[in-house]
């Protein structure tokens, strides 16, 4: 049997920034199991980066606790970070250093860094080790950052919007490398993104974060099977998640249902429904969100 202990866990986590008074996270509960790839999706400002940075100890929750493989990064940041490979939004590369220099730097900071693995991934992608980071394309920089994270052989991968600035082919290649590595060695990944269409085939589960709250966290296949899209006004009130506008102006409602006479939602429509439910003043059935 698989271990039910979460690899990543957030328990009643809230985060309020003192200077602005803004709540980035509100009572977030999340449990990510071993060997899975979970997409953390939501609009800019939803709290995705704050949550990921909390797992690294870079953000201290105002309330609640996060754990990485049972370790609270606020208690033992070194041990928590040792278990994590991290890719930030900006890749974190130094423009004046070569790719090889970055691998050397990673090796000096992370004992056990697998330079051969990292350089092999880059060679497969045709990225020269001697080239400076500032001379690489956005997609190449993202692959360097990912290869370094994979080279740590950390059991947990946290990826903060790595697809945001990539073209479709670069996003496809990035996800292929990620899935191959995670599946190959049983790692666990939490991938933050607002590009819903890219994560459907790569991820096992989806967590929708809206207005600092987890609106949904379920396996993708199961949650798509449990929802339908109905014409606005025709739905059963008890099953309503929220209404939203499709492209073209048609207004529809996401409902919790397995009625075969109703249309199955796309993953993007599922996310739109739950994000619509997260808006202040929404009268959606939030208590039924899984």
pLDDT over 80 at 7, yes or no: yes
One domain for residues 195 and 265: no
The average pLDDT across 119-123 equals: 93
Task: Tell me the DSSP string of the chain.
Answer: ----S-SEEEEEEEEE-TTT--EEEEEEEEEE-TT-EEEEE--TTSSHHHHHHHHTTSS--SEEEEEETTB-TTT-HHHHHHTEEEE-TTTT--TTSBHHHHHHHHHHHSTT--HHHHHHHHHHTT--TTSBGGGS-HHHHHHHHHHHHHHTT-SEEEEESTTTT--HHHHHHHHHHHHHHHHHHT-EEEEEES-HHHHTTT-SEEEEEETTEEEEEEEHHHHHHTEEEEETTSS-GGGEEEEEEPTTS-EEEEEE---TTSBPPPHHHHHHHHHHHTSTT--S-GGG--
Confidence of residue 90 (pLDDT cuts 50, 70, 90): confident
pLDDT given for residue 249 in this prediction? 77
Confidence of residue 2 (pLDDT cuts 50, 70, 90): low
One domain for residues 126 and 240: no
Token pair 């497969």: residue: 124
One domain for residues 53 and 191: yes
One domain for residues 154 and 101: yes
What residues make up the domain containing 201? 8-215
One domain for residues 132 and 245: no
Residue 62: which CATH number? 3.40.50.300
One domain for residues 62 and 147: yes
Whole-model pTM above 0.85? yes
pLDDT given for residue 1 in this prediction? 39
In a domain? residue 1:
no
For residue range 144-178, what is the model confidence (pLDDT) as tens digits? 999 999 999 999 999 999 888 788 888 888 899 88
Please name which of 269, 122, 143, 147 lies closest in space to residue 208, comparing C-alpha atoms.
Answer: 269
Spatial distance between the Cα atoms of 256 and 242, rounded to a whole number of angstroms? 10
pLDDT over 60 at 181, yes or no: yes
In a domain? residue 3:
no
For residue range 41-55, what is the model confidence (pLDDT) as tens digits? 998 888 999 999 999
For residue range 205-262, what is the model confidence (pLDDT) as tens digits? 999 999 899 999 999 999 999 999 988 766 555 589 999 988 777 889 999 999 998 9
One domain for residues 230 and 204: no
pLDDT over 50 at 94, yes or no: yes
One domain for residues 155 and 259: no
For residue range 123-152, what is the model confidence (pLDDT) as tens digits? 998 999 999 999 999 889 999 999 999 999
One domain for residues 74 and 189: yes
Confidence of residue 281 (pLDDT cuts 50, 70, 90): low
One domain for residues 144 and 281: no
One domain for residues 193 and 231: no
How do beta strands 156-160 and 188-193 pair?
parallel
For residue range 9-63, what is the model confidence (pLDDT) as tens digits? 999 999 999 888 899 999 999 999 999 999 999 988 889 999 999 999 999 999 9
């Amino acid at each position: 049997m698989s271990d039910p202990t979460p690899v990543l866990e957030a328990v009643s986590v809230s985060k309020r920034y003192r200077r602005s008074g803004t709540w980035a996270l509100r009572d977030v509960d999340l449990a990510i199991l071993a060997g899975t790839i979970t997409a953390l999706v939501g609009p800019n400002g939803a709290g995705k980066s704050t949550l990921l940075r909390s797992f690294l100890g870079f953000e201290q929750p105002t309330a609640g606790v996060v754990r990485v493989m049972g370790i609270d990064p606020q208690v033992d940041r070194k041990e928590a970070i040792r278990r994590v490979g991290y890719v930030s939004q900006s890749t974190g590369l130094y423009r004046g250093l070569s790719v090889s220099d970055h691998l050397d730097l990673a090796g000096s900071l992370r004992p056990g860094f697998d330079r051969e693995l990292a350089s092999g991934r880059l060679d497969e992608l045709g990225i020269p080790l001697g080239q400076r980071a500032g001379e690489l394309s956005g997609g190449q920089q993202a692959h360097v950052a990912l290869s370094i994270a994979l080279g740590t052989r950390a059991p947990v991968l946290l990826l903060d919007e790595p697809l945001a600035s990539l073209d479709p082919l670069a996003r496809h290649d990035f996800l292929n490398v990620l899935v191959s590595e995670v599946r190959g060695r049983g790692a666990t990944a939490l991938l933050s993104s607002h590009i819903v269409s890219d994560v459907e085939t790569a991820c096992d589960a989806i967590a929708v974060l809206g207005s600092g709250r987890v609106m949904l966290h379920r396996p993708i296949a199961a949650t798509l099977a449990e929802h339908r899209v109905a014409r606005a006004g025709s739905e059963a009130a008890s099953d309503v998640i929220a209404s939203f506008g499709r492209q073209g102006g048609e207004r529809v409602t996401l409902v919790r249902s397995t009625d075969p006479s109703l249309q199955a939602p796309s993953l993007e429509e599922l996310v739109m429904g739950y994000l619509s439910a997260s808006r202040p003043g929404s009268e959606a059935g939030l208590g039924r969100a899984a």
